[in-house]
Chain A
Amino acid sequence: MALLTPYSKVPELNTATVLLVENEEELQSKLANAIVQYEKDFNVNVRLARKLPLPVENKETRPRIDLIVFIVNLLSERSLQSVESSLAHLHSDCFLGKVCFLVTDARCGSHTQERLVSVRKLAASHQCPVICAEHRTADGVNAAAVRLLNILKVTAGMSPIATTALYLSSLTRCSVTSDLEED
């Protein structure tokens, strides 16, 4: 089984790579553009995928991936399901700070609330952060891009010595409070 492993390749100089995984492919391209626009200090490679496992053909040319972002659209059930099936293809070492969940449309109705709860439980079980984003306006996309860049900097090792990806994920991981569990 070809798992996506975090440390199997040498990182490139002054470069960070982020993988955006989204079933619907709505937000991916917009977010990718915003990310690349915002970052001037170092190179950012943004790779897009619909789901894991990634195609085997690119395996050699693909650089080391620093951050994997799962984009979940709360309005469709399939989005969450594809993310759950993709999680199985990740090496468990990835969850030590290299995985992040991004949810959109978190305010649009009652079904979205239930799905948000399940996403949060999933993230809490893997101890990864959850970011809520608003993808319909340019401002929302930019804000999400900035937040992802902050996390990316840490996971790629670009921030000062004391901050490691593991440490950041311990700080920002999603926690499920008892209110949510009662829901």
Chain B
Amino acid sequence: MTPTPSKQTEMEQDIQSSQSSEAAAKAVLLEECEQQFGLLQKLQNEIILADTEANDDQTNEAVNRLIAVTSELEQWQEMEPKLLTTSPEVLLAVGKEELQRLNGQLKMVLSCSQAKLDAQKKILKREQTWQAEKKEALNAVCEKITRLQSENEKSEHSVLQDMKKKINNLKDYHSSLMEMLSDMLAEHFPLPDPQGNGTKKKRAAAYDAEINLISLSEIIERLTNKTLETPHDPYVTTDDTFWPPYTEMLLRNGIATRHPEDCNKIRLENFF
């Protein structure tokens, strides 16, 4: 649908008026620029004059800086904020641009600070776990210290009592070991039974002479007693009361050894 002629002219008028207002705004801006540039030229000429008059002879930089900063400060204090121009279109365009730029910069700042925050949080967590571990270690060590201290603070009486307890324990253990040994020996190494060996002719003659055989436990007892009581002479003379197979067994299993010169003497073998 083509717009009616009146609307068309209206639109044209609108376009023309906006164009003219644009041109007017541009003209205003150019005017401002020219003014500022004229001011700049004037100031520049003044500076050049001042330079040629007083040639700088390398005064102290810090003093220079101080002078510059104080003069700038004065300028800022005197200056009053003023609009660039009163034309609304110009202001609108400038404002839009500024705000967009500011938006972009603020987004960058936001992402940067968030990244920093995340990094700091990670560090915090790590440090917290480290601290927890160290605290645990500290607690354990403190407990151990208190325990050791309490142990060290025992009186003589308690030391004596501990000693007595230990001795009693050892005695009980010793007696139980002995009991077990004798039970085992009695069970597995009994005295040879005169009736158990079948009917051989030797039997009667042999066993009549050796009727007072001593048991293996007796042999072992004699050996140990001799060793403990007379360590310089631990030899026990084997005689007929020792049943030969038992002595042979002791010798072969390394529990006893013969005297190097006398084959009738045996002693308990060294044990470690």
Binds A, one of B4-12, B58-66, B215-223: B58-66
Q: Report how many residues on chain B are interfacial, defined by Cβ distance under 8 Å.
A: 17
Distance in angstroms between the alpha carbons of A93 and B51 in the assembled complex:
11
On chain B, the residues within 8 Å of A3 by CB distance are 56
Binary B-proximity of A86-102 (CB < 8 A = 1, otherwise 0): 00000111011000000
On chain B, the residues within 8 Å of A93 by CB distance are 56, 64, 68
Which DSSP category, helix, strand, loop or mixed, fits chain B's interface? helix
- A140-183 interface (Cβ within 8 A of B): 160, 164, 166-167, 170
- A1-33 interface (Cβ within 8 A of B): 3, 5, 7-11, 13
On chain B, the residues within 8 Å of A166 by CB distance are 65, 68-69, 72
On chain B, the residues within 8 Å of A126 by CB distance are 61
Q: Is the CB of A127 within 8 A of B65?
A: yes
Binary B-proximity of A65-98 (CB < 8 A = 1, otherwise 0): 0000000000000000000000000011101100
Chain B residue with Cβ nearest A3: B56
Does B54 lie at the interface of the complex (its beta carbon under 8 Å from any beta carbon of A)?
A: no
Q: Is the CB of A92 within 8 A of B68?
A: no
Q: Is the CB of B64 within 8 A of A5?
A: no
On chain A, the residues within 8 Å of B72 by CB distance are 164, 166-167
Q: Is the CB of B41 within 8 A of A10?
A: yes
Distance in angstroms between the alpha carbons of A11 and B43 in the assembled complex:
12
For the A-B complex, the count of residue pairs with Cβ-Cβ distances under 8 Å equals 40
On chain A, the residues within 8 Å of B132 by CB distance are none
Q: Is the CB of B61 within 8 A of A8?
A: no
Chain B residue with Cβ nearest A167: B72
Does B47 lie at the interface of the complex (its beta carbon under 8 Å from any beta carbon of A)?
A: yes
Binary A-proximity of B45-87 (CB < 8 A = 1, otherwise 0): 0011001000010110100110011001000000000000000
Distance in angstroms between the alpha carbons of A3 and B58 in the assembled complex:
11
Which DSSP category, helix, strand, loop or mixed, fits chain A's interface? loop
Does B44 lie at the interface of the complex (its beta carbon under 8 Å from any beta carbon of A)?
A: yes
Distance in angstroms between the alpha carbons of A5 and B55 in the assembled complex:
11
Out of B37, B48, B64, name the residue touching A8 (CB < 8 Å). Answer: B48
Q: Would A8 and B47 be within 8 Å (CB), given that A91-B56, A92-B56, A166-B72 are in contact?
A: yes
Q: Would A10 and B64 be within 8 Å (CB), given that A5-B51, A91-B56, A164-B72 are in contact?
A: no
- B7-61 interface (Cβ within 8 A of A): 37, 40-41, 44, 47-48, 51, 56, 58-59, 61
On chain A, the residues within 8 Å of B41 by CB distance are 10
Distance in angstroms between the alpha carbons of A12 and B120 in the assembled complex:
47
Known: A13-B37, A96-B64, A160-B98; 16 extra A-B contacts, CB below 8 A, are A3-B56, A7-B44, A7-B51, A8-B48, A10-B41, A10-B44, A11-B40, A91-B56, A92-B56, A92-B61, A93-B56, A95-B61, A95-B65, A96-B65, A166-B65, A167-B72
Q: 15 pairs across A/B with beta carbons < 8 Å?
A: A7-B47, A10-B44, A11-B40, A13-B37, A92-B59, A92-B61, A93-B68, A95-B61, A96-B64, A96-B65, A96-B68, A126-B61, A164-B72, A166-B65, A166-B68
